[in-house]
Structure 1
Amino acid sequence: MAVFFTCLLGEVRRRGWGVVSLAVGIACGVAVAVVVTAVGTGVERARDGVVASSYGRGTDLTVSGAPGRTVTGAARFAGGQRITVAGRGPLGAGVVAAVAGRSGVAAAAGGLTLRVTPVDGAPHRATASATAGELDGRHGYGGYGGYRGRNGTGDYRVDGVDLTAPALGPLTAATVTDGTGFTRAQADAAVAVVDTGYARRAGLRVGRTLTIGGTDFRVIATVTAAPGAAADVYLPLRQAQRLAGAQDRVTTVYVRTTPGTRAETVRTAIRRGVPGTTVTTAAGLARNVSGSLPVAAGVAEALGRWPAIVAVAAGTVLGASLTRASVGRREAELAELGVLGWPRWRIAAQVAGEAVTGGALGGVLGAALGYGAARLVQAVGPALTARPAGGHTSRVALCAPVGVPLLLAAVALAVGGGLVAGAVGAGRAVRCTG
């Protein structure tokens, strides 16, 4: 065995350029595979982060009003502001409990989304009923009902947070940057948590007061959410309901399924048990995101891992071709080894060992090249845009995460490619010495 490895090492050194050519061929395929896999993973994570920023981490399903549902009652005017319920019409009292009682539901929490708009002058006329589309943020809040915000700006979104289920809802995706977040004891307190971006624009900080609809809310924390976050201000759900005059009503129910339960199964159970609602899975929520990010994610999903597989396969085919050509040039040399008494299996193992060594070197080189290329993509790649339904358009940096498991898998693939190339070369070597 020692003689075999001594001969193998000597042959690798003697055939330096041949081994390097094999290593480079496999390394190119491995590097492409690493970059493609890293970019695909980064795009998928970014899309999932945008979805989580609007619907919360751990949200598997959302329940909202049926399409075309109307919002009952006029917009409320108080303190020089117009307060409207955003999105589809609010769901009635008891819907959260009804959803929570469905089979496969681990937890459910309600949420109420409002749009607050400063107004000029006295109202001309309040409309008694409005369709969901008229109140949806995608159709604009500024001009509804004969009002307009000052200079067309100043409106913001408020999310009512169900403090009886703090582990669900949009606020779970935010990170507290200053102050302390909500507690269960503040379920009916006049307190607010404000997004850092809105806090800068409005000149707010922890301890200051934000007035909404004539009610003063003390800011207890500022938070930073993932890109695409929809809300500017978070209030306890009861306070949001009181502002909108929609006691015991919610616009969205956030649902977490029990482990091992298919979301589609739970979706069917909710639709049957709670009629007149729209139930959307996490995949459906992702489809509601617009911009270049979902387009990139769709391309990544459509291609899957095929580009990586093709790149590794191409590198392996190139390595096999180089190994086979090398054996063809060494036929006389290999024949001499047979004359000296080397058995065929030993000659084949010698050739295969050289190819595996080249594959291992190619794996290390390809992993290093792939890691560097992924870092370059992350540094200079274009920013992608994303906008959840009813949320803000944001720019998401293109990331390409490369972890140790991916690098180890790349090296393993390269060694596998070396084995395939070695098997091809060994087969020809055996025929040459037969």
Structure 2
Amino acid sequence: MGTFKIEGGHQLKGSIKPQGAKNEALQILCAVLLTPEKVTIHNIPDIVDVNKLITLLKNLGVKVEQLSHSSYSFQADDIDLDYLQSDAFKVDGRGLRGSIMIVGPLLSRYGKGYIPKPGGDKIGRRRLDTHFEGLIKLGASFKYSREDQFYGVEAKKLKGTYMLLEEASVTGTANIVMAAVLAEGQTTIYNAACEPYLQQLCRMLNRMGAKISGVGSNMLIIDGVDALGGTEHTMLPDMIEIGSWIGLAAMTKSELTISDVSWKDLGLIPNVFRKLGITVEKRGDDIHIPAHTNGYEIQSFIDGSILTISDAPWPGFTPDLLSIILVVATQARGSVLIHQKMFESRLFFVDKLIDMGAKIILCDPHRATVIGHDFKSTLKATTMTSPDIRAGVSLLIAALSAKGTSTIMNIEQIDRGYENIDTRLRAIGANIERIA
């Protein structure tokens, strides 16, 4: 189990460029299964979860060629469907939650899709019902082996239909869209997720020959086609990493520039950080964060009541950044209520921040009140373990702002979502060491 050793209390300075978007990559890579033609993808992040999915595609028979550090070509013209029934697949598929999104493309193109219960972050129950209910409505038969937790869907030919999703699941919507593009007739998906990464998937599929309208809204209309062709696609920068660097700059009182952020795809993210009193400047397509030498002050609502920051499906504030917001609030002037609505165990990492001296009241599994120190009392270094990707980075930011030397174990969780994070942080002045 890897470890980070972090000496906190140093101001950082410079420019950092966000990696390609992890959550987009997991969708886009699964979409290569929809065509026998070559698909070239740029700006793929070199992170554990994405690399696991690329390996799974290789094992499935996809021809993969690395063209440069972040560019690959994929060609799914000779898929080994027997692999889906193998013990090796049951191991590979469980190692990553994003593997669920191979089911829709395989079902649509080959008439069958299987997946073991996937892994991922330990942030509470994350149901797969939306995925399979949508595929069943398209005409698939569903089976589940409780003994080895193995899911399967089969259909001779999918047929378009109208469906109202119970939840606006991003991966569920992506799976259903990828199944529907080759279905017979028209499919309408209401209460569809509309995140920028889902929009990117739909635009890529349209370039491949799909007919998807309503992109960017919560109602997608898909007219099925007989076949899809190859394409070239460049992924967006990772909005979660961008938010992480904004929080890092504020907590360490550092002047940082985050380059090439695709401002138009950031939604509420800049304004939510501004509500904490952080100056977020737009410079072209870059974000500039000046050094907050005098700290930052949390705003109140217009009636003077305490600010509440909560997550919601897009275009609401992404749940992946609530843990960053919570950490940043520990050194603000004022108080804020953090309300994590979408996942039930994502706030349990706050006990580690309390050990570091943060003033946090965990009201229940979904709500925490943070009373900021205003930098009058620094966080104290400690030894901790990363429970998941986003909490892990939040603890890393806390350690970089703390007094003394901290140790973070189980950093494989952080590596799942952040590319060479220690090397990139050292380049802007962080004192961080990776210990094998």
Same fold (TM over 0.5): no
Considering only CA atoms, is the larger Rg found in Structure 1 or Structure 2?
1
TM-score (structure 2 length as normaliser): 0.25
Which has the bigger relative contact order, CA under 8 A and spacing at least 6?
1
What is the TM-score of this pair, normalised by structure 1? 0.25
